[in-house]
Amino acid sequence: MDTLFSLKVFRQVVQNGSFTRAAEQLGISTAMASKHVSHLENTIQAKLLHRNSRNLHLTETGEEYFRQCSYALETLETAARKAANGTDKPQGVLRITMPRWFANPRFSGWLAEYAARYPDVSLYLDLSNRHVDLIAEGYDLALRVSDTPNPSLIVKPLADIEFLLLASPDYLRRNGVPQTPEELGNHPAVLASYVDMSGIEIRHNGSGKRTKLALNPVAHSNSALMTGSLIRAGAGIGYQPAWCVDEDLASGRLVQLLPDYHIFTTKLYAAYIDRTFLSAKVRSFIDFLSEKTAG
C-alpha cells in the first residue's frame, strides 16, 4: 500500500474521530480506511488505535506517532506548495551558463533590468565556452551561440548574432585601411580559436557577390574578450560579435572594416531540459530575452 497515503488516512481518522467521516473526506471506503491504518500498524509493529463499533482513541504510541506524522505531512505539504508557487511566480536562484563574451555592456544592462523587474530571482551566471551538462551540473538554462544546437535539449531561437570585422584607429593609421576583401590578407589578424575562419565566404550587401576571405592570423584565443582587447590594442584586425562593440564603434575606439560586406551571422538560443514543468523563473528570463532581442 501507499504508506504516504496511509499516513494521510491516519491523520484524518484521528482528526475526525471516525473512520467513516475520514473515508468520506478522502473519497475512499470505510473498509479501505481501516486497511490503511492497519498497514501502518503492521509497518511499525505497534498498535496505534483502540477501536470498536462506537468509538476509538489513540494508544500512547499512537499519540506520539500522530504528532510526528502530522509534522511530517505538514512539512511535505509546505514543500509542495512552495514548489507549485515556483511555477507561477519567478523566484529563487536562476542558474544560467553562457559564453564568456556575454560579459559586455549590452547584455549586462539587460541583466540589471531583469533583476530590477524580478527582485525575487537571484541570478547565478557561469560564463564559459564549454558546453555545460545542464542536468549533471544543475543549471536551469543555457544560452548557446551555434548553428547546430544540441538535439537532446529544448531550444528557443532568440536572435541572430552578427560578427563584424574591426580594427583600432591607431592600427589603421599605421597600416592603412583595407578597401577590399583581398587586401585583408596583407594585414595581421587576431582570431578566435573556437571558430574556423579559413575559407569563409563574405557577401557584398548590394550585389550579393561572394568572396572567399583569406586572413593572416598572428594570434588565436579561446576568448572573444581577449581577441577584442588585442584588436583595441592595435595588434591586428579581427572580428567581434556586434553586441560586444556597440560602445567602441560609437566612441570611435574601433572602426568597422568593409561595412558593405556581411561577414557571418550565427544564432543565439536559449536551451533547457523540460518544457512540461518549466519554472516561472526560467520562463520569465526566456520571455525577457525574447522581448529585448526583438527590439
CATH classification at residue 100: 3.40.190.10
In one-letter notation, the amino acid at residue 275 is: R
264-270-276 Cα angle (round to 5): 150
Q: Are residues 282 and 155 in the same domain?
A: yes
pTM, full prediction? 0.67
Q: Are residues 44 and 185 in the same domain?
A: no
CATH of the domain at 199: 3.40.190.290
Q: Are residues 79 and 209 in the same domain?
A: no
Q: Are residues 61 and 110 in the same domain?
A: no
Last-in-domain residue among 69, 85, 101:
85
- Which pLDDT score is estimated for 212? 85
Cβ atoms of residues 222 and 129 within 8 Å: yes
Q: Are residues 199 and 247 in the same domain?
A: yes
- Which pLDDT score is estimated for 222? 86
- Which pLDDT score is estimated for 228? 93
- Which pLDDT score is estimated for 252? 95
What total number of domains does the chain contain?
3
Among left, alpha and beta (phi > 0; psi -120 to 50; other), residue 217 is beta
Residue-range definition of the domain harbouring residue 97: 92-159+267-294
Q: Are residues 173 and 34 in the same domain?
A: no
Q: Are residues 179 and 256 in the same domain?
A: yes
- Which pLDDT score is estimated for 232? 96
| CA pair distance 206, 152, nearest whole angstrom | 39
- Which pLDDT score is estimated for 226? 92
Q: Are residues 205 and 237 in the same domain?
A: yes
In one-letter notation, the amino acid at residue 260 is: D
Low-confidence ranges of the chain (pLDDT < 70): 53, 81-87, 195-199, 275-277, 295
Q: Are residues 155 and 272 in the same domain?
A: yes
- Which pLDDT score is estimated for 158? 92
Q: Are residues 31 and 72 in the same domain?
A: yes
CATH of the domain at 48: 1.10.10.10
Burial class (CB in 10 A: 0-12, 13-18, 19+), 4: exposed
Last-in-domain residue among 85, 115, 130:
85
Q: Are residues 121 and 56 in the same domain?
A: no
Residue whose C-alpha cell is 568572396: 211
Q: Are residues 167 and 261 in the same domain?
A: yes
Last-in-domain residue among 40, 61, 85:
85
